[in-house]
Amino acid sequence: MTLAAVVLLGAFHGINPAMGWLFAVARGLQERSRDLLLQSLPVIALGHLASVALVVLVVGATGSIVTGGALAIGSGVILVAFGLWHLLARRHFRWVGMRLSLPQLAAWSFLMSSVHGAGLMLLPVLTRIPAGHHGHLLSGGMLVAGVHTLAMFLTAAAIALVVYEFLGVAVLRRAWFNLDRMWAFALVGAGVFTLVGAA
């Protein structure tokens, strides 16, 4: 998986309304404030980055102990299991209410990104970073997390502004497809790809 793939995964997260742009638009429309929408987006990205960085820290902490092959196999199994659970689960985590402070919004974003396995999608990249030096593994992983989150943020911001300014949330009722299912299939696919690469 290349840096381009990391950017594309970030863009995919940015497109997915469950990762926050829809929440930011709803907050902006509720208060009739573009400023509130624009304040929400970086905080949502920060929560997303924290979720992805947690996965990087786990990989960095175990990289010197666990062999790359075993980590890749374990990562693949986790991805497939998480994707299947997400596909088969009847209920998904929901946050009630729209009036959140910015720290609460960051926590919401962290929870949603973690529940949706945002960091797990980067495991195929993280397990290929050379683990010869702990600092290289950690700094390389954080760079991947940063690039991924920047792509997510830019994509989400562009969509949120277009929806807020021109479309409004009502258009989503007419033109909607289930990104949650697409996300779950992507998790399973990434897991299978990781397992095949580790075999």
Q: What are the pLDDT digits (tens) for 50-86?
A: 988 888 887 777 654 454 556 567 767 777 887 788 7
Range with the lowest mean pLDDT among 11-15, 102-106, 134-138, 146-150?
134-138
Query: How far is the C-alpha of 81 from the C-alpha of 91, rounded, in Å?
Result: 16
- pLDDT attached to residue 65: 43
Residue 18 has pLDDT above 90, yes or no: no
- pTM, whole model, 2 decimals? 0.72
Distances (CA, A) of 55 to 51, 82, 89, 90, 92: 7, 14, 23, 26, 21
Position 97 confidence tier, pLDDT thresholds 50, 70, 90: very low
Report whether 137 contacts 130 (CB < 8 A). yes
Residues 6+ apart with CB under 8 A from 70: none
Which one, of 181, 150, 145, 188, lies nearest residue 53 by Cα? 145
Residue 105 has pLDDT above 60, yes or no: yes
Across 186-195, average pLDDT: 70
- pLDDT attached to residue 64: 47
- pLDDT attached to residue 167: 78
- Structural domain span for residue 136: 3-198
Query: How far is the C-alpha of 151 from the C-alpha of 4, rounded, in Å?
Result: 10
Residue 154 has pLDDT above 60, yes or no: yes
Structural domains of the chain, count: 1
- pLDDT attached to residue 190: 67
Residue 28 has pLDDT above 60, yes or no: yes
Residue 150 has pLDDT above 80, yes or no: yes
